[in-house]
Amino acid sequence: MLPKTRHFLVLALGVSIGLSLGLVRGVSAEKPPDAAGELPWQDARMLAEVLERVKHDYVNPMDDHHLLQAAIRGMVSSLDPYSAYLDGEEYDEIKISSSGEYSGVGIEVSMEDDQVVVVAPFDGSPAAQAGIRSGDVIVTIDGIPVNTTTLADTIGRMRGKEGTLVKIGIARDGVAEPLLFTLKRSRVELHSVRSELIEPGFGYVRIAQFSETTAKELQAALGALRLRNKGSLRGLVLDLRDNPGGVLEAAVSVADAFLDGGVIVTAKGRTAESKFEMDAMPGDDLSGAPIVILVNGGSASAAEIVAGALKDNHRAILMGRQTFGKGSVQTVMPLSEDRALKLTTSLYYTPSGVSINHRGIAPDIELERDLKVPAGSGDEPPAAKRDPEVLRALQELKKPSAPRGPPKTAYQPVRSSR
Is 301 among the catalytic positions? yes
CB under 8 Å, gap of 24 or more: what pairs does 219-222 form? 219/257, 219/285, 220/193, 221/193, 221/194, 221/195, 222/195, 222/257, 222/285, 222/286
**What one-letter code names the amino acid at 384?**
A
Query: Is 326 annotated in the active site?
Result: yes
Q: Distance between CA atoms of 405 and 237, rounded to whole angstroms?
A: 15
Nearest to 241 by CA among 292, 204, 295, 191: 295
Paired strand residues for 207: 193
Active site residue 83: no
Query: Would you give the distance in Å from CA 45 to the centre of its chain?
Result: 41
Residues pairing with 334 in the sheet: 340
Question: From the candidates 83, 301, 328, 346, which is the catalytic residue?
Answer: 301
38 touches 116 (CB < 8 A): no
Q: Which of 299, 326, 346, 387 is catalytic?
A: 326
221, 195, 200: which is closest to 120 by C-alpha? 195
Integer Rg of the chain from CA: 24
d(CA 244, CA 12): 9
Task: Please give the full DSSP string across 262-327, using - where no structure is assigned.
Answer: SEEEEEEESSGGG-EEEEPPS--TTTT--EEEEE-TT--THHHHHHHHHHHTT--EEEES------
Write down the catalytic residue from 239, 256, 312, 387: 312
Residues marked as catalytic: 301, 312, 326
